[in-house]
Amino acid sequence: MISSLKRIIAIGRNTLTEAVRQRVLSVLLIFGLVMVACSVFFSKLLIDEQIKFVKDFGCGAIGLFGFAIALLSTAQLIPQELHNRTIYTILAKPVRRVEFLLGKFLGVVLLLSLSVMLMSIAFAGALYWQEWQGIDSTQIGYDQRTPHWQSSPDMVNMYQRDILEIENQVRDPQLIEAILLIFAKLVMTSGIALLISTFATSSIFTIVTTFMIYLIGHMETVARQVWLGRGAETTLYQSGFLGILSLLIPDMNSFTIVDEILAGNRVPWAHTFNLLGYAGVYLIVLLALSEISFRYREL
Amino acid sequence: MVALMKISVMDTSASPAFAVETIGLTKRYPLSWKRKIVLALDHLDLQIRPGEVFGLLGPNGSGKSTTLKLLLGLAIPSEGEARIFGLPPDSLEARARVGFLPENPYFYAFLTGDETLRFYGKLCGVTGAKLEKRIEELIDLVGLQNGRERPLRSYSKGMLQRIGLAQALIHDPDLLFLDEPTAGVDPLGSSQIRDLILRLKKMGKTVVFSSHLLEQVQEVADRVAIFSLGKKALEGSLEAMLVENQSTQINLPAELSAEQQERVRQLLVQAGVGAAEIRFTRPHLSLEQLYLRTIQKAPDANPPTHPRP
Ligand SMILES: Nc1ncnc2c1ncn2[C@@H]1O[C@H](COP(=O)(O)OP(=O)(O)O)[C@@H](O)[C@H]1O
Ligand SMILES: [Mg+2]
């Protein structure tokens, strides 16, 4: 058991090392530029709007860049090993196929963690820059309106409330929830791509199919609401179809709760943990299916 | 119940007679889009004893690589079975005892030589100081000092083959499968690989290798099997198969003058050999021997010692 785990970790680390040395993470430089651009060029807005904008943009970009990394790197995992025939060198050692599969997946998860972490740091940087700017301009505003405002306790109180308001908006602990949820969604996307790549004959097929499932996963709930919303009119076929669909295709739409967080609404941690749990269970199912599909694959 | 247990104990304690044994081993590959199949290997029966060097010969596509893949559990047989030291090939126990060098090996391009060996060592459960010591030994054995810190991306074909051999040996296996170990390697490199195979044999290892270069097989293999279209067409020991029973060769370290030749001829005729059947020739070096004599004096591939300008 322990030795099995060690092999999985060795394969995972190797996968991460290869990806990093192939400069996969250099796409994150573009992310950094986007973050800088969106905080510098939109500084004409009101400070509240500006912070909201950076939050929206940052979370959106983390999701988007993460999605690209998750999809492209997972779709490549097995085809690359087959094409270079490195898979033979691994499976000729005392390594089980399932260990190979889990090790490869671990590598992608490590890559995603690293990417999301780096992007979050850049995101936090952009937010703090907003805070600093906000405080600065607030002070300038006070100075312009009333000279010597510091001597009036009322004004000082008001000023401090304004500053606190900005700080609260920037240092929103709910953003941690948002990023965790985004990460969970990325790992799920990766899991879907892994399952498909265990039987796909090309990585293009994997990419396209995963993308479709991702989209359907978003529309599933919408379809349910439309159909079931009409009450008695749903046919047996429709509910059967939806039932099968929700078994096969993960409900990606529940992760749009991130938008609520960004809109400033409270999302309790319990709800976030529920979603993370859902992602975890779904992932286990995906990995189990991948194992079955990969077990007898002709290499 | 008790009887069953006894049988299983006997089975595991008996040391298997063969390092490799196959019975009716067959592999068919489906070509799904044509609804046809390729018969890659057709009912192969093979028995290789521990300590033997065994050559698989045959043209491209004759089933050599397929055989090796089946023996490693990398492919699943369509029919028949294979045993490695009496174990099923896809068991971890079997694979802990075999090393494999694939055809045209290609490893992780962004790892250095040392990192590569460390990675494969860990997969085999070799770790720590033992692993580092093993890496030193193997780098020495395959002569890859100049590749330790370089990424495999920058390796030449011959260097890839060497790192491939080193990773195959990392867990000190008893049995080695080498698929075309000398393909695409220059003559010096391939003669070194031959020497290495002989060294492994001296260490008591079993070596099974495939090749379509006949000269090289002849110098190392104890026995060979010749494959054709997925079937084993011939099998036997080289000693027995290649000796020409109808002739004798006498080697002398000196050139004979015409007069000396005449006297030897007369002696042989007196001994009852027909005069017309006696021929005097001077042995030739093979071009390979000449090449090796010339090159062997030069140092191995130049190490990257020049500083950057
Ligand atoms: N994965 C595969 N799918 C379909 N056919 C294959 C596959 N691998 C090998 N073959 C076929 O099996 C036959 C034997 O191949 P192989 O064992 O590689 O030959 P060799 O190593 O002797 O050159 C060839 O006709 C080859 O095309
Ligand atoms: Mg071959």
Q: Does the pLDDT at position A228 exceed 60? A: yes
Task: Give the residue from chain A lying closest to B170, CA to CA.
Answer: A93
Given this model, what pLDDT does residue B2 score?
41
DSSP code of residue B76: -
pLDDT in tens, B226-266: 998 999 988 888 777 777 667 777 878 788 888 888 888 88
Ligand 1 pocket, residue B65 CB under 6 Å: yes
Report the distance separating Cα B209 and Cα B211, nearest Å.
7
Place B148 in a pLDDT band, splitting at 50, 70 and 90: very high
What kind and span of H or E run contains B26?
strand B20-31
* Residue spans of alpha helices (H) in A24-96: 27-40, 47-84, 86-91
Nearest residue by C-alpha to atom 15 in ligand 1: B61
Across-strand partners of B87? B84
Q: Is the dihedral of CA A187, A193, A196, A201 positive or negative?
A: negative
Place B14 in a pLDDT band, splitting at 50, 70 and 90: very low
Q: Which of residues A265 and A43 earns the better pLDDT score? A: A265
Specify the pairing of strand B20-31 against strand B79-84.
Answer: antiparallel
Given this model, what pLDDT does residue B301 score?
53
Closest ligand to C-alpha of residue B67 is 1
Q: Which of B125, B167, B177 sits opposite A3 (nearest CB)?
A: B125
Q: Does the pLDDT at position B8 exceed 60? A: no
DSSP code of residue B151: B
Report the distance separating Cα A87 and Cα A89, nearest Å.
5
DSSP code of residue B103: S
Place B306 in a pLDDT band, splitting at 50, 70 and 90: low
Measured CA to CA in angstroms, residue A70 lies from A213, A215, B225 at distances of 14, 15, 48
pLDDT in tens, B59-93: 889 999 999 999 999 999 999 999 999 999 999 99
Q: Which of A18, A88, A90 sits opposite B123 (nearest CB)?
A: A90
Report the distance separating Cα A223 and Cα A247, nearest Å.
15
Structure tokens at B62: 């004759």
Ligand 1 pocket, residue B225 CB under 6 Å: no
Ranges A2-6, A102-106, A107-111, B277-281: which has the least confidence:
B277-281
Q: Is the dihedral of CA B295, B296, B298, B299 positive or negative?
A: positive
* CATH class, B1-97+206-244+291-309 region: alpha beta
Given this model, what pLDDT does residue A229 score?
62
Report the distance separating Cα B86 and Cα B136, nearest Å.
32
Place A9 in a pLDDT band, splitting at 50, 70 and 90: very high
Region A263-284 average pLDDT: 91
Across-strand partners of B39? B28
Given this model, what pLDDT does residue B10 score?
39
pLDDT in tens, A113-144: 999 999 999 999 999 988 888 888 888 888 88
Partner B contacted by A88 (CB < 8 A) = yes
Report the distance separating Cα A139 and Cα A203, nearest Å.
55
Say if CB A163 and CB A135 are below 8 A apart.
yes
Distance from CA of B27 to the nearest CA of A (A): 11
Say if CB B37 and CB B103 are below 8 A apart.
no
Q: Which of B102, B107, B123 sits opposite A93 (nearest CB)?
A: B123
Domain residue ranges in chain B: 1-97+206-244+291-309
Highest mean pLDDT of the ranges A224-233, B130-139, B288-297: B130-139
B37, B42, B60, B65: residue to mutate for ligand 1 pocket, most atoms within 8 A of CB: B65
Across-strand partners of B175? B98, B206
A93, B95: Cβ pair inside 8 Å?
Answer: yes
Q: Is the dihedral of CA A92, A93, A98, A99 positive or negative?
A: negative
- CA-nearest of A222, A175, A182 to A60 is A182
ipTM: 0.87
Ranges A72-76, A192-196, B189-193: which has the least confidence:
B189-193
Say if CB A107 and CB A13 are below 8 A apart.
yes
Q: What angle do CA B132, B136, B141 make, to 5 degrees?
A: 140
Region B131-151 average pLDDT: 93
What kind and span of H or E run contains B231?
strand B231-237
Partner B contacted by A89 (CB < 8 A) = yes
Given this model, what pLDDT does residue A20 score?
93
pLDDT in tens, A65-106: 999 999 999 999 999 999 988 999 999 999 999 999 999 999
Q: Is the dihedral of CA B107, B108, B112, B117 positive or negative?
A: negative
Place B289 in a pLDDT band, splitting at 50, 70 and 90: confident
pLDDT in tens, B257-269: 888 888 888 888 8
Is residue B159 packed enough to be buried (19+ CB in 10 Å), middle (13-18) or exposed (0-12)? buried
- Please give the distance of CA B272 from its chain centroid, rounded to a whole number: 44
Partner B contacted by A199 (CB < 8 A) = no
Specify the pairing of strand B223-228 against strand B175-179.
Answer: unpaired
How many residues are listed for chain A in this entry? 299
Q: Which of residues A289 and B220 earns the better pLDDT score? A: A289
Given this model, what pLDDT does residue B305 score?
60
Structure tokens at A162: 């304004």
- Please give the distance of CA A185 from its chain centroid, rounded to a whole number: 5
Across-strand partners of B72? none
Region B26-50 average pLDDT: 88
Q: Does the pLDDT at position B45 exceed 50? A: yes
Say if CB B101 and CB B165 are below 8 A apart.
yes
Report percent pLDDT > 90 for chain A: 52
